[in-house]
Structure 1
């Protein structure tokens, strides 16, 4: 249910809260060590056509901003909290994702590097869906990075919460496993859904499948976690939180994107 009693630019839908504000202002207003898991995808600085943000900052200015965001996220994370940072790159700037990850290490430790595969070719067949590029120099970019940061690099996670069944069932008893589940590893095949219009993407030029933040939230293994996305966009992280019955908060600078995320959440079943 949508709570309309909040101030303009602030909405509560189910267990989720959306604020129309820039990320650093929103992060500064959160209590220190209050967030269990942050799942977010900042602007990549590759010229994506957002409504209220120019995605072409000078490189050093952009990386300094990302470092500032990383410090602000570290302040609000609990000691055992996790940040899952989704960043992509381009053929013209292949290092931008790793440079953003490096900017986050001033107060955070990289604990896992996950590869998000959007499309995979096996023999003569292709599985999944990606955003094609027009180029006679570069291959289509069918994967992006998800960097898992924690404050210590030693935070326990629930690997089996996003695990897969054993192919050889004899391995269950042979290796003393309690159930038919094993770690799925750090390569996640999560294709985009095929869409035919911007409306099916909630009129947002960049996003990820809801299964991505769902996996991240499950992986931390925390009961009733507080989930954060300081670059909310179309609201996918909070949709995942609502579907899982978790609490969430998101910041979005653009009023249209914030309104669309609010409407999307209002139509999301509660977990």
Structure 2
């Protein structure tokens, strides 16, 4: 396996390391504790592994890294009375989706230089771009095509966080992904409406820093953002004209859910299970797309996720009787997404 595409990566997480070696996170922790694989501890207290060390261990141990069979570039499933489409390709040009045919977008993009999303080098893999300006240029093409396929007046939600990165001598800085994402999307034509804060119930734990002395208190990172954008309405275009009375009635929200959305722009949600409970290196909780899809679309409408990952958005869409479209460049993740959708039947 070629690894030079990741030469600028400073670390892999335990989950990524387990995925790379095709083993469990528990086994990775064991290898680290037995000093069979080199490990360092980040300021968050989490284990970090160098990709070269993992490959060296795999070579010494004669491990056979898994080979995945190719899947169709487009799959169509009927789930819970809905149609779910999965395209195995990048989403900079979503030629399989017609102009203004989508009613809602919900996604969490691959973070710049932060996750090993694919075991093999993939052309167009945003998670393995090491230049921040290039990352914004490439992902801007995705937001441009989302703007094309979204109907006027409808919403797009992006789950993202500002990214802490290590510097020399144990220091760090935070990359302003949130602010720059807003700028890029507004330049594309979207109107930025608001940010919703996702407060995690078990966020990353920071080291104690200079405890018990002042000056170096490292604050735990327990939140991400959900950015809300809207495609401007076009004069004469009625965004809900296609809905039948039956669709509206079937989409009625109960008072408890309505209030849970309206009462606060801080949503408390538990992240996806850690360690071996995760089926993807960077999943968001099922509740996140479920709430957004239920609150901002109608039964029978179409939801798109240009960075599908393990398929959480489409599972939520299918369960709520919305049609779904997902784009996923990594065929391993696409297989996981398709299997999760099949399990809903």
TM range (shorter): 0.7 to 0.9
Runs of 4+ in structure 1 off by over 6 angstroms are: 153-158, 179-182
Whole-Å separation in 2 of the counterparts to 1:261 and 1:219 = 23
- Mapped to 1, the partners of 2:111 and 2:294 lie a distance apart of 26
Taking a change above 3 Å as real, the CA distance of residues 117 and 264 of structure 1, as seen in their structure-2 partners, is same
1:174 matched to which residue of 2? Answer: none
Correspondence 1:32 to 2:114:
no
Report if aligned partners of 1:224, 1:246 keep a CA contact under 8 Å in 2: yes
Contact 2:299 2:320 in 1 (8 A): no
Q: Against the structure 1 CA distance between its residues 95 and 181, is the aligned structure 2 distance closer, same or farther, given a 3 Å change threshold? A: closer
Instruction: Quickly say closer, same or farther: Cα 1:109–1:181, change in 2 above 3 A.
Output: closer
2:161 touches 2:224 (CA, 8 Å); kept in 1? yes
For 1:195 and 1:131, the matched residues in 2 are separated by: 11
The secondary structure found in structure 2 opposite 1:206 is: coil
- Is 1:183 matched up with 2:251? no
* Aligned CA distance change for structure 1 residues 46 and 153 (closer, same or farther; 3 Å): farther
Instruction: Quickly say closer, same or farther: Cα 1:131–1:236, change in 2 above 3 A.
Output: farther
1:141 corresponds in structure 2 to 221
- Matching of residue 89 in structure 1 with residue 169 in structure 2: no
Contact 1:80 1:150 in 2 (8 A): yes
Answer yes or no: is the 8 Å Cα contact 1:90–1:141 preserved in 2.
no
- When residues 32 and 180 of structure 1 are mapped into structure 2, their CA distance, relative to the original with a 3 A threshold, is closer
- Among 63, 74, 79, which residue is 1:10 paired with? 74
Please give the alpha-carbon distance, in whole angstroms, between the structure 2 residues aligned to 1:70 and 1:111.
16
Please say if residues 272 and 278 of structure 2, whose CA atoms lie closer than 8 Å, have aligned partners that are also in contact.
no
Structure 1 residues 248 and 56: alpha-carbon distance in aligned structure 2, compared to 1, 3 A threshold: same
1:223 deviates by 3.4
Q: CA 1:59–1:205 in structure 2 vs 1: closer, same or farther (change >3 Å)?
A: same
Question: 1:193: Cα distance to partner?
Answer: 4.3
**194, 208, 212: which one aligns with 1:112:** 194
What is the root-mean-square deviation in Å for CA atoms of aligned residues?
Answer: 2.9
d(CA) in 2 for partners of 1:39 and 1:180? Answer: 21
Quote how far apart the aligned CAs of 1:164 are: 3.9
Cα offset, 1:93, TM superposition = 2.2
Q: Bigger CA drift: 242-251 or 49-58? A: 49-58
Whether the aligned pair in 2 keeps the contact of 1:238 and 1:249 (CA below 8 Å) is: yes
Q: Is the 8 A contact 1:114 1:148 kept in 2?
A: yes
Is the 1:47–1:56 Cα contact (8 Å) retained in structure 2?
A: no
Equivalence for 1:171 = none
Aligned counterparts of 2:85 and 2:207: Cα–Cα separation in 1: 39
Aligned to 1:257: 333
Structure 2 partner of 1:101: 182
Number of aligned residue pairs: 236
